[in-house]
Structure 1
Amino acid sequence: MAIHQETDFTVEIRSADILEASTVRRIAEICDRVEDARTGDVLLVQVRGDDGGDTGHPRSRDLDIHLVNKWERALRRLERLPVATVAVATGECAGPAAEVLLTTDYRVAAPDLVLRLPSSGGAPWPGMALFRLATQIGVHRARRSALFGAATTAEKALALGLVDEITDDPEEAVGVAVKNFQGARAGDISVRRRLLMDAMSSTFEDALGSHLAACDRALRPAGQL
């Protein structure tokens, strides 16, 4: 299901996409566009399942640890963009699509969503998707998916907080989200996102300086940043 919205930036990734240089480049190029632009508040990320597609990271001649490192770095850039990232997920979301979904800010799911972590040789892929899953829902709740590759339905994903809403009309939901997130870039969404991420591993004392710096930035008049 393609979503046709007037968004500032758009990228699509499918479950059947394999981890190769072109997949890394697709994410890197949209990050370049967003970072180089001075305006625009929302990146629409369409993650789509493909029936019968490969749901993992196949062992191809091009796949080595250097390519995996580039992929993880591209996902980290996506996770730190200065705009709001809104995902719409449909079908069996697995492989690279599942990894991308876990980096986004707001997630709209179709009722047919089934979320599966990437796999390799039938076992869950030990990439940073495991880290994101654990930090987002907790180690206990992530255990079945991380250790045994258990699938997560749309309803379960909503209950866990892995998606924000389920709807029969993803396009309408995305339209509402796009309107709600206008001003995200000027409002320093990337700063607040980083503070949330750091809260998982920082003490209050260590985090205080970063939060005070963010508050100081917010208190300054426009144009004096």
Structure 2
Amino acid sequence: MTAAGVGDLALHVDGSEPVSPATVEAVLRVCDRAEDGYVTGLLTVHASGAPQPGWAGDVSVGLTTKWERAVRRMERLNLVTVAVATGDCGGTALDLLLAADIRIAVTGARLVVPLSGDATWPGMALYRMARQAGTAWLRRAALLGTPIDAETAVAAGLIGEVVDRPEQTLAGIAAASAAVSGKEAAIRRQLLLDAGEHSFEEALGSHLAACDRTLRRAVAP
């Protein structure tokens, strides 16, 4: 996994490599840069690769906990995140893909829940997939490790679109995000996430507070 320098906020993740301290550190380093120097703009995650048999041999619960916390931190950054899936996308690549706000798949991409021993890996990718797509779409993938092709992932709501070349799509997203405040984007994201859990009455207060904040900012000198 590699992280780009300041001025080009991007993360390249190879899901064929098992999670490691270096993998965790790469995500945390990008999060540090995003929080220190980026108010608007994008974090682009280039995700590809899926684990091979025996990949979990050196993985511990402690390391997995650190990894899940790092992914969660990225998921809550004060800027828009976009992920591009290429080829088979599993393991750490799938985790970061599902944590991104906007997801693009290159033609031929597949989402792969990796196998570990005699069953699929029960990480938080299963949680995010179920929350975002519902369990009916995912039973074969979650229970048997059956890959999800890009078109099925779009129909399930896990991927936004499938493209042959992502560069033009990324440029359009970057242009749109340039005028968006990172903190405001994070508030909108949380409202979306809360909608799946809260009733209208429970959600109303948060939405009204966000509306009030927006109106106050509009008239601020």
Large movers: runs of 4+ above 4 Å = 222-225
CA contact under 8 A between 1:95 and 1:119: conserved in structure 2? no
Which structure has the highest helix share of the two?
2
Residue in structure 2 matched with residue 16 of structure 1 by the alignment: 16
CA contact under 8 A between 1:98 and 1:118: conserved in structure 2? no
**What secondary structure does 2:172 align onto?**
helix
What CA distance in whole angstroms lies between the structure 2 residues aligned with 1:193 and 1:41? Answer: 15
Q: Tell me which amino acid in the other structure corresponds to 2:209.
A: A
Residue in structure 1 matched with residue 176 of structure 2 by the alignment: 180
Q: TM-score, normalised by structure 1?
A: 0.88
Could you give the per-residue CA deviations for residues 70-102 of structure 1, whole angstroms, max 9, x where no partner exists?
Answer: 111111111111111111110111111011100
Aligned alpha-carbon RMSD (Å): 2.4
Could you give the per-residue CA deviations for residues 122-157 of structure 1, whole angstroms, max 9, x where no partner exists?
Answer: 422111111100110112112221122110111111
Q: 2:121 aligns with which of 118, 122, 125?
A: 125
Residue in structure 2 matched with residue 165 of structure 1 by the alignment: 161
Q: TM-score, normalised by structure 2?
A: 0.89
- Give the deviation of 1:202 after TM superposition: 1.8
What CA distance in whole angstroms lies between the structure 2 residues aligned with 1:57 and 1:190? Answer: 34
- Give the deviation of 1:7 after TM superposition: 6.9
1:42-121 equivalences under 5 Å are 42-49=42-49, 54=52, 57-60=55-58, 63-121=59-117
Residue in structure 1 matched with residue 30 of structure 2 by the alignment: 30
Q: 1:39 to 1:223 in 2, by over 3 A?
A: farther
Q: Tell me which amino acid in the other structure corresponds to 2:102.
A: Y
What CA distance in whole angstroms lies between the structure 1 residues aligned with 2:149 and 2:168? Answer: 21
- Give the deviation of 1:57 after TM superposition: 5.0
Q: 1:132 to 1:8 in 2, by over 3 A?
A: same
**What secondary structure does 1:82 align onto?**
coil
Unmatched tracts of structure 1, length 5 or more: none
Could you give the per-residue CA deviations for residues 153-190 of structure 1, whole angstroms, max 9, x where no partner exists?
Answer: 11111222211111111112211221122223357111
**What secondary structure does 1:91 align onto?**
strand
Q: Tell me which amino acid in the other structure corresponds to 1:58.
A: A
Q: 1:178 to 1:139 in 2, by over 3 A?
A: same
CA contact under 8 A between 1:55 and 1:94: conserved in structure 2? no
- How many residues are paired up? 217
Q: Is 1:200 matched with 2:196?
A: yes
CA contact under 8 A between 1:56 and 1:96: conserved in structure 2? no
